[in-house]
Every structure is written in C-alpha cells, then in structure tokens.
Structure 1
Amino acid sequence: MKKYQFEVCANSVESCLAAQAGGADRVELCAGIPEGGTTPSYGEISTARDMLTTTRLHVIIRPRGGDFLYSPIEVRTMLKDIEMARQLGADGVVFGCLTANGEIDLPVMQELMKASQGLSVTFHRAFDVCHDPEKALEQIIGLGCNRILTSGQQATAELGIPLLKTLQIQASGRIILLAGCGVNEKNIARIASETGIQEFHFSARESIKSDMKYKNESVSMGGTVHIDEYERNVTTAQRVINTIQAIKS
C-alpha cells in the first residue's frame, strides 16, 4: 500500500491542534488566508510549536498578499522571518519568488535557500502562476527544495490533474509534488489515482459562528471589503479524518 502524507493548511493554533487530532503528518501555519496566506506572528508560531507533539510544523514565509515579485526590503523581511521560524523550532518553511516575467527568481531563491539550511523547504503556489512549469520544476529541483505545492496551474488540484500527472512523471522522484487547493474527501482518491502523487495539502475547515452577543454589523474592519467578522473558518479533526480515510478506504 502506498505511503501517503497529509498536510493541513492551518490558519491558527486551534486549526493546528485539530489537524494533529485528525492524524495530519504536517501543518502549514499561515495568517491572512483571504490573501492566500501570509507569515504568521511570532506568538502564533511559538504557541503552535509548544503545543504540537506529533505533527510537523511548517511556516509560510510571505510578507504580503498579491504577486510573488518581491522588493529588496521584502526579501530582507523574509530572511528575518526564516530566522524567526528556525529559532522557534519550525521543521520547515514555505516560500516562492518569481521575476516580472513569471520565471523563478533564482538569485532571491538562492538567498532564501541559504538562510533555510537545515529546514525542509516547500516552494509554494507561486509555481501555479509561473510562465513555464516544466522549466520551473527543473530549476526548483536545482535549488534543492524538498517539495512543490501546486494545483497544476488550475483553480483546483482536481482541475489540474493533467499537468499534475505530467509533472509527477517529470519529477521522477527527484522532488515531492504536494497537490493542494480544493482537495477534500470527495476528490482526494481521484487525484491520487490519476496523478500518482502521494502528498496532499488541504484545509478541512468549517465555519464557526462568533460567540459575540452584541454585534455592530454596519462596521467592517476591512474598510469597503466586507467579510463576515462574526464567523470564522477553523479546521476540524473530523474533516481531517474523513479526508485521510477517503484515500485509504
């Protein structure tokens, strides 16, 4: 039987603990999920490290939402965040950088990789918006990254099955492909069987209503962008269990 690995995209320490309870092998701790994930705080990383006992902790290193073309100041911030993650006991870091032309930014990546020595490194979904995925795959292998998180350059990993299959064949065991985006208990088995990929990234979240009794819903903390601030999404152990069992059954 194939040995699968399961990573949960955790938006809080609470989600980290639910992932662990559900049997996840690893979490990717992120803040700013509506922006696609940004670097979590010192306190969040430290607390997650203190409380996780059997699940590995990876930390996204992304100073902002938006594109993956970073200024020298942003790169400096990322280097400091990598050092913070290391000092707090993270097992790995997650990042990715592109040039203005959609190529892998090799000089910046080399700098970040040097700072990450001794940590597991995942090149994140910046890969999904690069210009030439086959060329990028070879470059990322050359950089020494351990894995690539990808949806196969589609809105979901299920839609990206054709490219995921191609990349898995091209990788030929030289790097791990981590299929992510929209992976759930309904499609994980199909993605696995059609691509040959053995690592999966999913959130397994459910909406939780706020316990606030007084609510002023006319005010938004995001200015004109309205997000329901009396509801939050949290990973649940049962959804993690369901997703893992769906591929093992």
Structure 2
Amino acid sequence: MKKNQLEIACFNYESAIIAQENGADRIELCENMKLGGTTPNSILVVKVRESLNIKMHVIIRPRGGDFVYSDEELTEMKQDIKQYKKLGVDGFVFGILKDSGNINKRQNKELVHLAHPLPCTFHRAFDVVKNVEKSLEDVINCGFKTILTSGQAVNVEEGILALERIQELAKNRIEIMPGGGLRSSNIKLLQEKLDLTFYHSSAITNNSETANPEEVKELKNFL
C-alpha cells in the first residue's frame, strides 16, 4: 500500500547518518548548500553509500547558478552519472533548461538514458520554467520519474495551490515531490492538499548545513 515518504537533502556525511537514524526513507546527496546543491565528490559518495541502508539519490549539477549547460558541462555530468552508477547509488537528480526557459529535451534525455535503469528526478530547475503545463509534459516525455518543486514559489507553503494543480495535471504519470522550505511546521498543510507522495526537506533548523535529528523525526511523524 502506497504511503507518504520522506527524502532528506544532505549536504554532508553527518546529515546522511542523521537522516537514516531518524526514519528518512531516502536521501538526496549533494554539496554546497549556499549554491543550492551541487554534485558531491566521489569520496563523499563512497563514504555515505557504505554507511547507508536506505536509498540514496545523488544530485548531478556541476555548478550553481542557472540550469543551462554547455556541451562540456554535459560531458562532465555524463561522466559523474557513469561513475556513480558503479558506486551503487539508487537514482539521480538533475534538470537542464534552454535559454528560453523551456526544458532541454535532448540533453535531459541523454542523461536519463545513461542513468537507466536508475530513476531520475527533475530538480527545482522546474521552478523557473516559463510554461508549467508544457514543461510538465516535456519532463514526463524525457523519462523522469519525479519532479522536485516548490510550486514555482519561494517555498512550498506559498506554492501550495500550484503544487496541487501540478499534481492534478500529472495524473499519476510522474511523482510530484514538494520541496523548498518544507518543515514539520508546514507539512500538515501540504498533506491536506496533496495526494500521497515523497516529501523533500533538508531538516536544517539553524545556521549550520546539517540536518536536525529532532526535525527529521517530527517530519516523519507527520507521515
């Protein structure tokens, strides 16, 4: 039977351990929180993989800033996917746009194909697309299994109505995972509006880059 599940965005090894010990179902591993998350280095990936029993997705994002990538950057992303597949990760998180604000179908399809059979999540690049309805169809067409989004708002609370609409438009063809400012203080509001899904949070409640064990527990309690 399907149920709500929790993914914790982890920017370091400590957060990954905290996530597992306090009930998270999956982690998204990345580095550089101030840049919004970039591809973690291979030493961290190996260390976390060896310590976790829960699922571990890895972000593939070569730099901060926009989501328009050169062919050189695309090559780098491909190399990371090839390498991390061999290290036993469970999925990948990325998203590539065109200058126009539309989905770059060619580049995304190449990465999804390379990642196969591992599932791919289209990350919060979705929050800056020009046309939500068209972009949703393009992301589905590229073969992604999940979209991580705040509903194109500053946080999930402000984007709640858009999240509800995106989930309706998706018609169960792709999982819509709310993330961006998600905390135990507002998760109940989202649950009232959304169908069963994964919820995404860093569970960071102070100025550090490390998840708060109590916050992970609280989030999980609501699910």
With structure 1 as the length reference, what TM-score do the two structures score? 0.87
- Distance in 1 (alpha carbons) for counterparts of 2:150 and 2:15: 22
- Runs of 4+, deviation exceeding 6 Å: none
Equivalent in the alignment of 1:142: 141
Q: Distance in 1 between matches of 2:85 and 2:209?
A: 28
1:201-241 deviation per Cα after TM superposition (whole angstroms, max 9, x unaligned) = 0011244xxxxxxxxxxxxxxxxxxxxxxx73211222100
Aligned to 1:237: 213
Q: Deviations over 1:52-107 (max 9, x none)?
A: 01x10000000000000000100000000111110111000000000000000011
Pick 1 or 2: higher relative contact order, CA cutoff 8 A, min separation 6: 2
Number of equivalences: 223
Decide whether the 8 Å contact of 2:22 with 2:217 is kept in 1. yes
Confirm or deny: 8 A CA contact 1:206 1:233 kept in the other structure. no
Q: Which runs of 5+ in 1 are unaligned?
A: 208-230
Return 5+ residue gaps in structure 2 as ranges: none
Q: How many angstroms apart in 2 are the aligned matches of 1:153 and 1:205?
A: 21
Distance 1:142 1:131 in 2: 17
Contact kept? 2:33, 2:209, Cα under 8 Å: no
The one-letter code sitting in structure 2 at the alignment partner of 1:112 is L
| Contact 2:3 2:196 survives alignment (8 Å) | no
Q: Distance in 2 between matches of 1:196 and 1:189?
A: 12
Counterpart contact for 2:40–2:58, Cα < 8 Å: yes
3-state secondary structure, aligned to 1:205: coil
Q: What does residue range 41-56 of structure 1 map to in structure 2 within 5 Å?
A: 41-53=41-53, 55-56=54-55
Structure with the greater alpha carbon radius of gyration: 1
Aligned to 1:108: 107
Q: TM-score w.r.t. structure 2 length?
A: 0.97
Structure 1 residue 26 and structure 2 residue 2: aligned? Answer: no
1:128-163: CA deviations, max 9, x gaps? Answer: 001111111111111111100000000001100111
| Residue pair 1:38, 1:63 contacting (<8 A) in 2 also | yes
1:5 is matched with: 5
Distance in 2 (CA, whole Å) between partners of 1:165 and 1:206 is 26
Q: Identity of counterpart residues, as a percentage?
A: 40
Q: Deviations over 1:161-208 (max 9, x none)?
A: 11101111111111000100010011001112123352110011244x
